[in-house]
């Protein structure tokens, strides 16, 4: 077998090695399980490692490939799953003592799709309790840490998914996103996180946070792998990779700059990252221009009211009967929904429709749009005041309000060696264009071989 560093193989590269017989799914799975056992005590990405199941699935994938039964690009590929998504026979804890003993009786549809594709489940990974709260120390499991600097927050709520990818524990992970919870850890951990069009990936079998805003999304270390993972999650083979390499020549891309230059401020290095990305897209042949959407405050307030109202409805019974079993952060974020009236939420829902129509109007002549993801750099995980201050300093909620696809893509590194990122957004059900833009831009980035020094 040719010498490769298996821990950092992506989906496409590992698949090629499987089919050339230079690497087997069992070898890759064993290597990753060994790495998790050796290093995850430092970043706490996993809540539960499913080693026996993973090796059984890897052996099945290996035997099927040897027999010529090729299920597609995810066959034999190990992945990590946010522990808010059901796998038959395994606990779905939502990182909460309330559901510590909750064992799923059936696979969520997204898990069933990945089983059909031949993917290998390494385990269930950490999140913020019930996909809200924050990095808490008053829960049965510790919070995940950022592999680039273990003193820092990895972003949430899909914190374990982002950390597992950045640490070289898995080439693929699945997260959920209600107000940015796939794109936040992707941004902080220097990976690619996609929030697809609302309902493209079923949320059945996923514990809800705010059902009208919830999305399930793929997380990987590069754009091509992300497209392959979404194809497996949706059963739409080839839908997002067919035109991946078509380039940017002639495309029109809007920059939603007023969010972070007029209505809010951003870290200077994040600003440099997105400015460089816009320049790169122009060099690649795209027409890049500033565009304007309704004010950021409107998007934030609309999403806040809907999310707080819906998440309180999900948790009302437990908040009244078992409040002590939540972490303090979760209680503080869930309880405000109790005072939101039906009239307020109806107004917010009507405003949501208007905001979505305006987004559709602005995007009518565009192929894609870009804006920042985070306004801040990751803060220390042991500073609750800083986490509280920075947690809402982002630009992700507009695309949960619209339900349209948005992806966090790395734009380089800060002077301190921390990942920088931006978002790319597209019209509803136009994930193919989103991947096309993201792939072309990512290929234009200077080649980086940096990896966290765990």
Residues with catalytic function:
82, 157, 181
On whether residue 248 sits in a domain, the answer given is yes
Q: Are strands 172-177 and 192-195 parallel, antiparallel or unpaired?
A: unpaired
On whether residue 203 sits in a domain, the answer given is yes
Q: Are 411 and 274 in contact (CB under 8 A)?
A: yes
Extract the residue ranges of the chain whose pLDDT is less than 70: 1-3
pLDDT tens-digit readout, 107-119 = 999 999 999 999 9
- Residue that the structure tokens 């017989």 belong to: 21
On whether residue 346 sits in a domain, the answer given is yes
In sequence order, which residues have a C-beta less than 8 Å from that of residue 186 and are 6 or more positions away?
A: 155, 162, 192, 193, 219, 373, 408, 421
Q: Phi and psi for 407 in degrees, rounded to 5? A: -135, 135
Exposure of 290 by Cβ count < 10 A (0-12 exposed, 13-18 middle, 19+ buried)? Answer: exposed
On whether residue 314 sits in a domain, the answer given is no
Q: Give CB contacts under 8 A, 24+ apart, made by 276-282.
A: 276/411, 276/412, 277/370, 277/411, 277/422, 277/441, 278/253, 278/370, 280/441, 280/444, 280/445, 281/248, 281/253, 281/370, 281/437, 281/440, 281/441
Q: Which of 157, 180, 155 is nearest to 299 (CA)?
A: 180
Rg for the chain (alpha carbons), in Å?
A: 21
Range of the domain at 56: 6-297+342-444
pLDDT tens-digit readout, 203-259 = 999 999 999 999 999 999 999 999 999 999 999 999 999 999 999 999 999 999 999
On whether residue 453 sits in a domain, the answer given is no
Gap between the Cα atoms of 250 and 218, Å rounded: 28
Gap between the Cα atoms of 126 and 178, Å rounded: 16
Distance of CA 188 to the CA centre of its chain: 11
Which CATH number goes with the domain that contains 137?
3.90.1300.10
On whether residue 309 sits in a domain, the answer given is no
On whether residue 287 sits in a domain, the answer given is yes
How many structural domains are present in the chain? 1
Helices (H), 238-288: 258-261, 268-283
On whether residue 384 sits in a domain, the answer given is yes
Q: Are 116 and 156 in contact (CB under 8 A)?
A: no
């Amino acid at each position: 077998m040719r010498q490769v560093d298996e821990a950092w193989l992506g989906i496409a590269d590992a698949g090629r090695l499987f089919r050339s017989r230079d690497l087997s799914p069992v070898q890759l799975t064993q290597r990753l399980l060994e790495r998790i056992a050796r290093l995850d005590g430092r970043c706490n990405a996993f809540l539960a490692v499913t080693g026996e199941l993973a090796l059984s699935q890897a052996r099945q994938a290996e035997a099927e490939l040897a027999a010529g039964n090729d299920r597609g690009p995810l066959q034999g590929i190990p992945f990590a799953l946010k522990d808010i998504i059901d796998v038959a026979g395994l606990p779905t804890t939502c990182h909460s003592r309330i559901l510590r003993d909750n064992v799923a009786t059936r696979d969520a549809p997204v898990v069933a799709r990945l089983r059909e594709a031949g993917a290998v489940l390494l385990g269930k990974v950490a999140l913020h309790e019930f996909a809200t709260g924050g990095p808490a120390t008053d829960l049965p499991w510790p919070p995940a840490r950022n592999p680039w600097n273990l003193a820092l927050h990895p972003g949430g709520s899909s914190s374990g998914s982002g950390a597992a990818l950045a640490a070289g524990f898995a080439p693929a992970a699945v997260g959920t996103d209600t107000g940015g919870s796939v794109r936040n850890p992707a941004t902080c951990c220097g990976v690619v996180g996609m929030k697809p069009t609302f309902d493209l990936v079923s949320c059945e079998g996923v514990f809800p946070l705010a059902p009208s805003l919830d999305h399930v999304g793929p997380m990987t270390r590069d754009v091509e792998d992300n497209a392959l993972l979404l194809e497996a999650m949706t059963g739409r083979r080839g839908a997002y990779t067919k035109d991946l390499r078509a380039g940017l020549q002639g495309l029109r891309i809007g920059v939603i700059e007023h969010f972070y230059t007029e209505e809010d401020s951003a870290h200077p290095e994040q600003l440099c990252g997105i400015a460089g990305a816009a320049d790169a897209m122009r060099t690649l042949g795209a027409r890049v221009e500033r565009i304007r959407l309704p004010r950021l405050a409107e998007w934030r307030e609309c999403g806040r009211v809907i999310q707080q109202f819906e998440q309180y409805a999900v948790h009302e019974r437990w908040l009244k009967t078992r409040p002590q079993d939540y972490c303090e952060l979760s209680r503080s974020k869930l309880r405000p929904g109790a005072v939101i009236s039906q009239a307020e939420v109806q107004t917010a829902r009507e405003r949501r429709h208007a905001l979505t129509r305006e987004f559709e109007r602005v995007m009518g002549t565009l192929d894609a749009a870009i804006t920042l993801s985070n306004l801040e750099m990751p803060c220390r995980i042991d500073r609750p005041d800083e986490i509280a201050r920075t947690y809402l300093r982002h630009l992700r909620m507009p695309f949960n309000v619209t339900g349209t696809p948005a992806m966090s893509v790395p734009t380089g590194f800060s002077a301190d060696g921390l990942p920088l990122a931006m978002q790319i957004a597209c019209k509803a059900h136009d994930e193919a264009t989103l991947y096309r833009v993201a792939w072309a831009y990512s290929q234009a980035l200077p080649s980086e071989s940096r990896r966290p020094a765990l």
